[in-house]
Amino acid sequence: MAVVQAKGPNEGDGWRYLLNARHILDGYFAGPDTLMFWNGPGYPLFLAPFLALGIPMAVVRLANAVFLSLAVAHFQGALRLAGIEKRSLAYAYGMGLLLLLHGPLLGMVMTESLSAFLVCGAAWHYGAATRGGGRAGRHACLAGLHLGYLALTKVFFGYVLEAALPIAAGLWLWSVRGGRKRRGGIPEASGHPGPGGERRPGEIRRASGAAALACASGLLLCAPWLAHTWAKTGKANLWGNSGGFQLYFMSLPEREYFGDWINFEALLENPEYFRNHADFIRETLKLDYVAQDGVFKKEAIRNCREHPGKCILNWRANVNRMAFGFPNTYYPGSQTELATGNRAFVFAFPFMVCLLLAVPGWLGRRSVPPWVQGCLAFACLSLGGMSLVCAIPRQVFPLLPMLGLWCMAVVERALEIRIVARRS
């Protein structure tokens, strides 16, 4: 499929990743005249050796297939850690097929396959960390390294790690205090929930502690990147500077806009379709990317204050695009393709399954390992943040394994246990 779907290296965002890779080989990341930190260094660092050695981009596209295969292998490992043995291979192949159908990404110089591998690797190490033993801390740190490189590859996840760290740490502190009150001097048991679904002491503590350590390790890996952007721009905690553009498009108040990304070149070539915005954008684009980011964020805040109802409608359109691939703003050169029929079903399928399993998942929550629920929480936190910017189905792609892991754990453990309990 990587060969069949092959496209030019400059398709999509490939040109930017290749440009950053060339910059890395030249000794810098963003040019001092532009300060363009639209993406992190994760994928450009992977591409740099290929460019340095003159290896064809066809090999890079084949690497996407390798990453996706490794993602499926780690996903099966995570399923087995969740107590799903018999059908784990079938579920893993099903997840691989869903990722394959979700978009023609294998034949492009893009980050999605690498991101899926990093997410599945993090889930596997996270599950291994919660089993206890002498290697628990090592697995938690390895999960963090996967998440940290994910944040360097897709900078949005850096903000997710920063939000998840205090949540996980707070849950760990709560579980430690609660465990001391409940135990009353009785030593803890270890392992997974029993056949009746009861949760053994210490599982939440181990899961939340491993999550906190993983988030901290991931952020530590990203510290040099944040130090670099701070040194170059004077702004602390700057993961990237494309957020202003996305927030601005998300806040456009006119009825014909749906909060999705608008192509700058098409916008400037067809100003008659953007009468209220073309001049403002043309003048703002003359600034460097750090200044642009600030100006667009300021204008987005003003739009949200003056048109809160339209911002809510744009947010709803973002959620719809994440799940179905539409609605999209149409204008000359927009290159939007309406996702209908089979494609929309593929996009919506994981969300429909999650909704169908929401009630049984809640009723049987004690049967699902806490670390699997932690993966679901990370996915939900990420999806919630994504819905606030120019969301598209491609952004959901790396999170599908975490959603699938929870769904399969509910089907195999919560539903099975409840059925057995009713029969008995």
User: How does pLDDT run across 269-318, given as a tens digit for each residue?
Assistant: 888 888 888 889 999 988 999 999 999 999 999 999 999 999 999 999 99
Task: Count Cβ neighbours within 10 Å for each residue of 340-359 and write b for 16 or more, e otherwise.
Answer: eeebbebbbebbebbeebee
Output 262 or 117, whichever has higher pLDDT. Answer: 117
Residue 67 contacts residue 96 (beta carbons within 8 Å):
no
> Does 187 sit behind a cis peptide bond, omega within 30 degrees of 0 on the bond before it?
no
Q: How far apart are CA 295 and CA 372, in angstroms?
A: 41
Amino acid at 278: A
pLDDT at residue 108 is higher than 90 = no
- Contacts of residue 333, defined as CB under 8 A and 6 or more positions apart, other chains included, come to 263, 265, 266, 269, 270
Count CB atoms within 10 A of the CB of residue 255: 8
Residue 243 contacts residue 388 (beta carbons within 8 Å):
no
What pLDDT is recorded for position 258? 92
392: tokens are: 């598209």
Average pLDDT, the chain: 88
Q: How far apart are CA 332 and CA 335, in angstroms?
A: 8
Residue 10 contacts residue 47 (beta carbons within 8 Å):
no
Q: How far apart are CA 240 and CA 141, in angstroms?
A: 24
Record the pTM.
0.91
Stated as kind and residue range, the H or E segment containing 422 is: helix 416-423
| Integer CA distances (angstroms), 88 to 29, 76, 81, in order | 42, 6, 10
Amino acid at 144: G
Count CB atoms within 10 A of the CB of residue 164: 23
Q: How far apart are CA 2 and CA 61, in angstroms?
A: 6
pLDDT at residue 135 is higher than 90 = no
